[in-house]
Amino acid sequence: MALQGSLSELSLPDVIQLVSVSGKTGAFHITRDGEEGRIFLKDGQIVDASVGRLRGESAVYELAIWSTGEFTFHPGETTDEVTVTRSNANLMMEAARRLDEWRVLSRKIPSLDMIPYFPHREDGRDQVTLSPHEWVLVTKIDGNRSIEQIAELLGWAAFDVSKLLFGMVTTGLVALKKPGESGEGRGGGGLSDQRLSPVTLLGIAEKIRTMAAALVGEGGQRTIEKQYLATRTAIETGTGLEALRNLVEQNTKAIALLKGSDVAAMFEEQVRPLLGELGNTIQS
């Protein structure tokens, strides 16, 4: 007979611990609002896991933070895949750590259904310093996608997306709204919307400048800086996305002239993730 229950009454790490100590082989099926994940055990040891586009340890950690949903354990169900090699003890320790961290994140991110957007900021001269992963995340924020949808789009764990958003929400770069909520002062169209916060546009322009300068070397630094300053002025006066497109185009031409078409193509490839959906419109 299958073991089953509710995650609201018993956490998944506790359930796995109960089953694993008996050395059982089988599979957990975990469901929540139409989502389904699986965790396979062989002789009590976790050997494979999946949920959405996540596999292995990432899937285990993602499922471990689910606080709602149903689980069922099917004895004897097996898999030929081995995507998890860490011991159950190490996996559950990390899962417990993430659960504790999730409780902190939930103070500002109460639900994965929340929709991130760029709030209006009066001062367009603020500086933005973001990590590469944060820049990739920024390109997917459009004021319509939920946190969970963004995670699915990127193929990342919702927990990891939430960790990145936590810092952005804390600093005021990003705000959150409930589904169907209009909100006030929203720049919610993402990178395809001219109302995107100037602070974000300026930050992307700085990142593009850094990438271009690294490729052209000292001989082209003055040209790249001149193009960046012109773009910065255009953004501050409201030109927005068109200024970013023009910056990429001008930088690409300068790199092609100084370093050749191959290096220019490399630059375009590197800059596409910063502009998200706009990448397909960039011309060399």
* Ordered domains of the chain (ranges, CATH): 3-105 (no CATH), 115-192 (1.10.10), 198-281 (no CATH)
Q: Helix or strand or coil: residue 283?
A: coil
| 8 pLDDT more than 80 | yes
The pLDDT of 182-194, averaged and rounded, is 46
Full-model pTM? 0.58
In angstroms, rounded to a whole number, what is the distance separating the alpha carbons of residues 99 and 97?
Answer: 5
Listed range (170-179, 201-210, 221-230) with the worst mean pLDDT: 201-210
CA distance 27 to 14: 15
Report d(CA 246, CA 151) in Å as an integer: 30
Distance between CA 1 and CA 235 in Å, rounded? Answer: 64
8 Å CB contact between 38 and 27: yes
What's the confidence (pLDDT) of residue 196? 57
Question: In which band, very low, low, confident or very high, does the pLDDT at 80 lie, cut at 50, 70 and 90?
Answer: very high
Mean pLDDT of all residues belonging to the chain: 82
**Residue 51 corresponds to which tokens in the numbers above?**
């949920």
Torsion of CA 127, 131, 135, 140, to 10 degrees: -120
Q: Assess whether pLDDT exceeds 50 at residue 281.
A: no
